[in-house]
Amino acid sequence: MSFKKILYGAAYYYEYLPYDRLDKDIEMMLEANINVVRIGESTWSTYEPEDGVFDFSTLDKVLDAMNQAGISVIVGTPTYAIPSWLSKKYPEVMVQVDGHRKPYGARQIFDISSPAFLRYAERIIRKMVSHVARHPAVIGYQVDNETKYYGTSSKNVQQGFVQFIKKEFNNDLDKFNKEFGLDYWSNRINSWEDFPSMDGTINGSLQAEFDRYRRELVNQYLKWQVELVAEYRLSDQFITHNFDFEWRGYSFGIQPEVDHFKASESLDYAGVDVYHPSRKHLTGAEISFAGDEMRSLKHDNYLVLETQAQAFKQQVPYPGQLRQLAFSHIASGANMVEYWHWHSIHNSAETFWKGILSHDFQPNPVYDEVVETGKQFKQLSQHIVNLKVTADVAFLVSNQSLSAIQNFPFSDKRNYNDAFRLLYDEFYKLNVRTDIVDEHHIQLDNYRLIVVPALYSVSDIFLSQLNDYVEAGGHVIYTFKSGFTDEHVKVRTDVQPGIISKSIGAHYELFVDPDGCRLVPESQVINPTSDLLLKDWMELLIPDTAEVIASYDDPNWQGYAAITKNTFGKGATIYIGCLPSKEVIHQIIQAFVEEVGIRRTSEDFPIIVKQAINEFGKQITFYFNYSGVVQTTHNSVTGNELIRGSKVSGPLSLEPWGVAIIET
């Protein structure tokens, strides 16, 4: 599937408007060259105000008006927030967490596997999608929104989990008890009827498996919605979903509750929301990792279904940033940039999560920058749509390891995603393009380097494949905790780090808390003036064949290695047995990618460079300045600068929060 143009738009909630201003809104959208809106998600109670009473007249009104203005529409199924009457009539649809049913009010607080919910959700989806499918404005659908399993541990989910385990273990209780270590603290289950509620479990293997099962509920739920929509959609209408990430006030890392890789299989396009720190805290790293993951899901361009306009008080962008951000999404492979949302809302929870327009609906500096960006998108659309992006490096990420580490944390402050981001952000700053894939979908041979943060829970088979990959000439960077447990979070009985010790050329018996310990560089890779303090975790590595890159400064741990490098067959590995500073990680990655021969520009953050091939077969190079002062490239740049429409040659000067796009 490919797009005819870059889509630029916003979520639009006619339903939430304090007064009807549809025509005025569309007029302002056209002024900004907005060519797409997303509507409908979370509007169930408007379109089915009472059980079985449907009224799509205002939906029609919006579609007609958009169509007339030439603005395309993505229709969301409205299921991620349920009507009050449904909760009142069938209290059992509300999600039950730790034995307590959530009270009605917020979105995303129902049980996604509740039969009563599913019956009603099916009816509104069929009614709504069949109603709009033939409308010429509609170009695609979003099924549900930011779906997760919402912590569900209701009775049907518990029953389903027991059946899931039964099937996985072919009814063999002994094998199940053994693999999950259930004799511990008398948790042994000798009869399936005795399987206790997961609410009280202290077994991390079981909890991680329960999380896996609940992620599978998300997969099934999304697939079910896709199939429903597919019964009605026209052949040129796409189906997508709006994925999101671990939330720390912004998109931080891998989503714990959703297996994006599997969940995206039934979709036509990967869709995503991306939120990030702004102003002086803006680096672009979140846009880049989110884009890399989304692009990797379908090995194709993706849709940014939501990103911030004004957003919260701490996110209102500096002048220039909004335009830069829009191009950043495109440079990562997006074919659409859609803001959340057009207008700020006048009541309820997200009143201060502001849109393009403030509550007064008047033009403002953010809207003005949308206008400017829309104009440039329109002008450059053919040069920057359907960009083909390739990477030499892949991050190997793992929902299962993330879940398992939540149960067995290595830190009271940091989790799996901190390890992921520690490495990701330095690849980003070094301008090395990466894919982001999980172990069930990666084609190892496609990459020169695989980066493996904290792969704590994984099968023997995959670890062997990684060994084989290195032996055949591949390269891997592992961090601490990798290979420690099997796919059921049972610790391996091998000498650690188990199977991968073979390619790493090192092993360990003990791991300790740093408690003030620092690295001692044992190789020129690490600058001795760097920040050498360690955090959270130290494995006391014993090199077998590996070279020691760094050791520890505590005299009690003398003779142990902290970071090692090993040649194995035709390939090589780096093993980082501790949690060093960003600076040290930067140096290790820089040295290794140079040694391995990974493509990268010699520009460094705050200059970010992203390359791709456009539909004319030309190379497009984006240059971003992620700082508030003018930056100039080290290298000479030659080609057509598309935004200004002028030829450039020589070092390229970039305005604060500036962008240049060179076609060659």
Taking CB under 8 A as the criterion, which residues in 616-635 touch a copy of itself?
628
Taking Cα atoms as reference points, which of 11, 22, 230 lies closest to residue 133? 230
637 in Cβ contact with 662 (< 8 Å): yes
Shortest distance in whole angstroms from residue 356 CB to a copy of itself = 12
Rg (CA), the chain: 26
Site map (CB under 8 A) of a copy of itself, residues 158-187, x = contact: --------------------x-xxxxxxxx
Residues within window 45-84 making contact with a copy of itself, judged by CB under 8 A: 45-46, 49-50, 78, 81-84
279: contact with a copy of itself by CB under 8 A: yes
Q: By CB under 8 A, what part of segment 375-414 binds a copy of itself? A: 408
Using the rule CB under 8 A, which residue among 23, 27, 98, 655 binds a copy of itself? 98
Is the previous residue joined to 497 through a cis bond, with omega within 30 degrees of 0? yes
- Nearer to a copy of itself among residue 260 and residue 535 (C-beta): 535
Q: Which ranges of 171-299 does DSSP label H, i.e. alpha helix?
A: 173-179, 204-230, 260-263, 285-298
Print burial letters for 310-345: b (CB count within 10 Å at least 16), e (below 16): bbeeebbbeebbbbbbbbbbbbbbbbbbbbbbbbbb
Cβ of residue 85: shortest distance to a copy of itself, in angstroms? 4
Between 3 and 195, name the residue whose CB sits nearer to a copy of itself.
Answer: 195
- Angle separating helix axes 399-407 and 416-429, nearest 10 degrees: 130
Q: Which stretch binds a copy of itself (CB under 8 A): 15-23, 239-247, 288-296, 422-430?
A: 15-23
192 or 616, CB closer to a copy of itself? 192
Smallest separation (angstroms) from a copy of itself to the CB of 241 = 19
Which residue do the tokens 């909890």 mark? Answer: 207
The region of 196-204, 444-452, 562-570, 637-645 touching a copy of itself under the rule CB under 8 A is 196-204
Report the site for a copy of itself in 422-481 (rule: CB under 8 A): none
Helix (H) or strand (E) holding 132: helix 115-132
Which residues touch 84 (CB under 8 Å, ≥6 apart)?
45, 104
Contact range with a copy of itself by CB under 8 A, out of 40-48, 332-340, 452-460, 574-582: 40-48
> Distance (Å, rounded) from C-alpha 88 to C-alpha 94?
10
- Label residue 45 exposed, middle or buried (CB < 10 Å: 0-12, 13-18, 19+): middle
Q: By CB under 8 A, tell whether 362 contacts a copy of itself.
A: yes
Q: Which is nearer to a copy of itself, 186 or 235 (CB)?
A: 186
Q: Report the residue from 159, 197, 619, 664 that binds a copy of itself according to the rule CB under 8 A.
A: 197
Binding to a copy of itself (CB under 8 A) within 202-241 occurs at: 202-205
Q: Count residues near a copy of itself (CB under 8 A).
A: 99
In order, the DSSP letters of 104-129 are SSSSS-B-TT-HHHHHHHHHHHHHHH
- By CB under 8 A, residue 109 contacts a copy of itself: yes
Which of 262, 502 has the CB closer to a copy of itself?
502
The answer to the question of residue 145 lying near a copy of itself (CB under 8 A) is no
Tell me which DSSP letter residue 38 carries: E
Question: What is the rounded CA–CA span in Å between residue 132 and residue 75?
Answer: 8
Give the separation between CA 521 and CA 606, rounded to whole angstroms: 27
Give the residue from 157, 183, 191 showing the smallest Cα distance to 490. 183
Torsion of CA 11, 13, 16, 20, to 10 degrees: 130
* Helix H or strand E segment including 423: helix 416-429
* Residue from 64, 494, 547, 663 in contact with a copy of itself (CB under 8 A): 494
Q: Would you count residue 649 as binding a copy of itself (CB under 8 A)?
A: no
Q: Which of 348, 529, 646, 649 forms a contact with a copy of itself (CB under 8 A)?
A: 348
| Residue among 346, 388, 440, 634 that touches a copy of itself (CB under 8 A) | 346
Single out the residue of 20, 23, 105, 249 in contact with a copy of itself (rule: CB under 8 A): 105
